[in-house]
Amino acid sequence: MMTINRRRFLELMALSSAGLLGSRYLPAQTVTNNSSPSDSPPVLQCPTETGITVVWAVSRSATGTVEYGTAPDKLDRTAHGDIFGLKPFNSRFLQVRIDGLKPNTRYFYRTVTRPMKFEHAYSIKQEEPVAGEVFSFETSGAGTRSGTFSTINDTHNNQSTLKLLTDRLKQINSSYTVWNGDLVDSFDNENIAVEAVLRPANAAFAAQNPMLFVPGNHDYRGEWARNTPQALPAWEHNDPKDKKFGRNFVVRTGPLALIGLDTGEDKPDRHPAWAGLSYFEPYRVGQRDWLERALKSKAVASASFVVAFCHIPLFSPDPNANGGDTLEGYARFQRQANELWSPLLSKYGVQALITAHTHRFKYFPADQTRKWTQISGGGPQNTSTVIHGKAEGNTLEIIADDVIGNKELGRWQFKKR
């Protein structure tokens, strides 16, 4: 696909290769009036060994493609994002899936956005396409010596905290960022998704290192919550019976397997606040079988280290803690999920579970009955954390950093399973 200013793009590529451009990435192509339809950097999501999804926001009606290849000056393939013969068209979000990739391979890509004037079915007018910056990503797989991740949580669209978090994520530069729930207070409209998720603190935080979304209870609230797959696409599982578990995932990165689970709301389904619209209790029951299949899968069974993630803690040392099954208050831990999932985490050798929700950093080591460690991240204003890990050789090391206090909260090492 040819885009505007192609000659200028090639000139900039030559300058970049010669080290004459100060930026690591190419500047975005723009139309002649300097008005870009893009309203966010690209956000990589749902990565697999052979594919990845690119999501970006737009400020007006547009369609889009992704150009990609194995070198920054050879973006010789195009993903069109077509579904049922229709290419993407939206006034706020564009989403393109790239498939047919090779595991553990670096690819370069850029978005190309074309504004459209859709007057009616027989009057659709194209404007000039606009090419974005060139970024790169590496597909997942077991074929690397090390695996890394970072985790943030309970950001609640707090832009000052998001600035600290995204700055720290850039410094750590993990292969994957797990956003462990409560991205917002509630999804009341599409603009909150752009501001809080696709360009938090105006950072291109997931343009190269994919983001793995784990829902929190607040992410299910708000009139627009059922539309979040426009910005936060669901995972597509190979087994048809797993279709409803599109928020659960397994990602393999070197010797490390990452598992995402969804604890849902922090109140029972019968709670009057939901007016009969919630159905999380059967959803958690179904995830029990999904989890066992995931733990038995080759990607997890062959991993030396396994870390799981969910928003609401599964363990509380307080025997009187609210387990999310009473009409008073809200869950301090998820009793139903604990009873369903915790025995599997122990049985199959999961070393650590990283949670969130309480806004307080907590560390609970494994014991004789609970054979996995639970680490809960803090946030969003008192002790906001980046919990990050690296698995290499015989050791997985997990570190918790407080970005507000600018200090390390602890580090722990786990041996191979």
**CATH class held by domain 146-415:** alpha beta
- For 192-236, how does the pLDDT look when each residue is reduced to its tens digit (9 = 90+)? 999 999 999 999 999 999 999 999 999 999 999 999 999 999 999
- CB neighbourhood size of 255 (10 A): 23
**Structural domain boundaries of the chain?**
6-40+48-138, 146-415
* 263: amino acid identity, one letter: T
* Residue 35: predicted pLDDT: 62
Question: Of the candidates 372, 378, 367, 369, which has an alpha carbon nearest to the alpha carbon of residue 410?
Answer: 378
Nearest-angstrom CA–CA distance, 22 and 19: 8
* Residue 173: predicted pLDDT: 97
Q: Helices (H), strands (E): how many in the chain? A: 6, 21
Q: Is 378 exposed, middle or buried (0-12, 13-18, 19+ CB in 10 A)?
A: buried
Give the fold, CATH level 3, of 6-40+48-138. Immunoglobulin-like (2.60.40)
Question: Among 21-30, 103-112, 245-254, 357-366, where is mean pLDDT lowest?
Answer: 21-30
- For 5-44, how does the pLDDT look when each residue is reduced to its tens digit (9 = 90+)? 443 333 333 433 333 333 333 333 333 334 689 999 999 9
Rounded to two decimals, what is the model's pTM? Answer: 0.91
Domains 6-40+48-138 and 146-415 share a fold: no
Beta bridge partners of 396: 391, 414
Query: Given pLDDT bands bounded at 50, 70 and 90, which one contains residue 340?
Result: very high
- For 61-92, how does the pLDDT look when each residue is reduced to its tens digit (9 = 90+)? 999 999 999 999 999 999 999 999 999 999 99
